[in-house]
Amino acid sequence: MMRISAHMQKTLNDQVRREFGASYLYLSMAAYFAEKNLNGFARWMRMQAMEEAKHAMKIFDFVEDRGGRVTLEGIDRPPPDFPTPVAAFEHARDHEAHVSAGIHQLYEAAATEKDWATQAMLQWFITEQVEEEKTSSQIVDTLKMIGDNASGLYMFDQELGRRGGAE
């Protein structure tokens, strides 16, 4: 087994922090939506938070599998409030684009180092981020269509609350 390089280990550790940071952000958004009695949005964000934590653990395990050491750094405090539901989802969409950029930088670093195993692992994340960006963009677009229509917001909250996945 080729041991992971010190540089790749550091960059992957940075990504673990970003993924846990995303989880923390989505939990903050879940709390915001719960306070607004938008429990479907809150559920969707809780599930998104769990998914991001799983992503962090996927990289965490990969670093260990390659003989590296995971070191956890601090996570910035996420914003606790948002002006509107659409603003919260816009923040989520923009954050997903930021996460994608980090994955792309990691992939480029792995290519430079000819670290084929890391490139292969990161391919899963690249594909996943396409879905993440698409989903968050679609939610923003739908919320913008709904506008100030309380009935539309209620119905969309109910729809997002039906999101499946591991709990």
Domain membership flag for residue 106? yes
Question: pTM of the prediction?
Answer: 0.91
Domain membership flag for residue 48? yes
Domain membership flag for residue 166? no
Contact 160, 43 (CB under 8 A): yes
Instruction: Tell me the mean pLDDT in the region 38-49.
Output: 97
Write the CB contacts of 75 (distance below 8 Å, at least 6 apart in sequence).
Answer: 17, 20, 21, 24
Residue 107 structural domain: 6-161
Q: What angle do CA 100, 163, 88 make, to 5 degrees?
A: 55
Please check the confidence at residue 167 and state whether its pLDDT lies above 60: no
Query: DSSP string covering 126-143, please?
Result: HHHHHHHHHHHHHHHHHH
Contact 107, 126 (CB under 8 A): yes
Residue 163 banded pLDDT, cuts 50, 70, 90: confident
Domain membership flag for residue 1? no
Instruction: Tell me the mean pLDDT in the region 91-115.
Output: 95
Domain membership flag for residue 167? no
> Reduced to 3 states, what is the DSSP secondary structure of residue 1?
coil
CATH code of the domain containing 32: 1.20.1260.10
Q: Domains in the chain: how many in total?
A: 1
Write the CB contacts of 52 (distance below 8 Å, at least 6 apart in sequence).
Answer: 19, 20, 22, 23, 26
Domain membership flag for residue 114? yes
